[in-house]
Amino acid sequence: MDFKKLIVYQKAFKLAMKIYKISISFPKEEKYSLIDQIRRSSRSTCTNVAEAYRKRIYPKHFINKLTDSDGENSETVVWLDFALECKYLPKETYNSLHSECVEIGKLLNYMINNPDKFGSSKAF
């Protein structure tokens, strides 16, 4: 199976693209801070899933990369918090994006706790 068929990858990629499109409207003075950071963390969520999947024959590496992905997903939530507080996002948009991050986090945690279902085995 290709990593692109993983539901978590698809959801993370879709979220990263939404964040890219939404962040275009953020103020120019945020270009090298909030915009750059939120785009990087959201993109890293799905890129780490891809890396993890390729390393799935090594259980510790698989779980490590998934944990990195979960960390990037959590970082994205913090940047969304800043965007909301700075009034760059309407509350409804924030709620929708935040919900997607929560869902992605649940999927990542399922993978971390069940590596054998993804071609790996528990490293513990």
For residue 75, tell me if it sits in a domain: yes
Q: Domain of 106?
A: 3-114
Report the C-alpha gap between 51 and 53 in whole angstroms: 5
> How many structural domains compose the chain?
1
Query: Is the residue at 121 inside a domain?
Result: no
Identify whether 124 is part of a domain: no
Provide the pLDDT for residue 119: 86
Output the tens digit of pLDDT for each of the chain's 124 residues: 799 999 999 999 999 999 999 999 999 999 989 999 999 999 999 999 999 999 999 999 999 999 999 999 999 999 999 999 999 999 999 999 999 999 999 999 999 999 999 988 654 4
- Which CATH number goes with the domain that contains 72? 1.20.1440.60
